[in-house]
Amino acid sequence: MKTFNFILYLSLFALLFSSCDNALTEKMLFEATVDTATTDTIIKDTVFVKKGMPLSFKFSGNAQFISYFSGEPGYEYFYYNTSVIPVSQFDSCFLKFDLTPVGIDSVHIANTLSLAVSDNFPGLFGIASTPAFSKDSANILNMKDYSWTDLTAQCGFPATNGLKKSVKVNAMNMLSKNVCLKFRYKTALNDTVQPKWTIANLKFVRYQKGKTPVEILASGLTFKQFDILNPAIAYAVAGAGVWSKSNPVNIFINSSLSRSSLNEDYLISTPTIINPVSTPSTGALVKNLSVDVKAYSYTYMTKGVYYATFSATSANYMDNGQYKQVNFIIKVID
Q: Judge if 78 and 91 occupy the same domain.
A: no
* Inside any domain, residue 100: yes
Please state the domain count of the chain.
2
Q: Is the pLDDT of residue 187 over 80?
A: yes
* Inside any domain, residue 10: no
- For residue 24, the model assigns a pLDDT of 52
Q: Judge if 109 and 72 occupy the same domain.
A: no
The answer to whether 245 and 236 are in contact (CB under 8 A) is: no
Span 73-101, mean pLDDT? 92
Residues 118 and 127: their CA atoms lie apart, in Å, by 21
Last residue of a domain, one of 218, 243, 269: 269
The answer to whether 305 and 51 are in contact (CB under 8 A) is: no
Q: Judge if 129 and 178 occupy the same domain.
A: yes
Q: Note down the domain range covering 54.
A: 38-82+284-333
**Least trusted range by pLDDT, from 100-109, 145-154, 232-241, 310-319:** 310-319
Q: Judge if 182 and 253 occupy the same domain.
A: yes
* Inside any domain, residue 125: yes
Q: Judge if 251 and 298 occupy the same domain.
A: no
Q: Judge if 158 and 46 occupy the same domain.
A: no
* Inside any domain, residue 56: yes
Span 15-42, mean pLDDT? 72
* Inside any domain, residue 227: yes
- For residue 175, the model assigns a pLDDT of 97
Q: Judge if 99 and 240 occupy the same domain.
A: yes
- Read off the CATH number of the domain in which 296 is found: 2.60.40.10
Percent of the chain residues topping a pLDDT of 90: 75
Q: Structure pTM?
A: 0.75
Residues 244 and 267: their CA atoms lie apart, in Å, by 9
Q: Is the pLDDT of residue 6 over 80?
A: no
Mean of all residue pLDDT scores within the chain: 90
**Least trusted range by pLDDT, from 83-87, 117-121, 219-223, 307-311:** 83-87
Q: Is 79 exposed, middle or buried (0-12, 13-18, 19+ CB in 10 A)?
A: buried
For residue 82, name the pLDDT band (cuts at 50, 70, 90).
confident
Q: pLDDT for 195-229, tens place per residue? A: 999 999 999 999 998 889 999 999 999 999 999 99
Q: Judge if 256 and 324 occupy the same domain.
A: no
Between the ranges 41-45, 70-74, 148-152, where is the mean pLDDT highest? Answer: 148-152
Q: Judge if 167 and 247 occupy the same domain.
A: yes
Residues 234 and 243: their CA atoms lie apart, in Å, by 11
* Inside any domain, residue 132: yes
Reduced to 3 states (helix: H, G, I; strand: E, B; else coil), residue 128 is coil
Q: Judge if 167 and 221 occupy the same domain.
A: yes
Kindly report the number of other CB atoms within 10 A of residue 229's CB atom. Answer: 14
Q: Judge if 260 and 289 occupy the same domain.
A: no
For residue 289, name the pLDDT band (cuts at 50, 70, 90).
confident
Span 304-328, mean pLDDT? 82
For residue 292, name the pLDDT band (cuts at 50, 70, 90).
confident
Strand pairing class (284-287; 65-69): antiparallel
Q: Judge if 132 and 99 occupy the same domain.
A: yes
Residues 54 and 57: their CA atoms lie apart, in Å, by 10
Span 133-162, mean pLDDT? 96
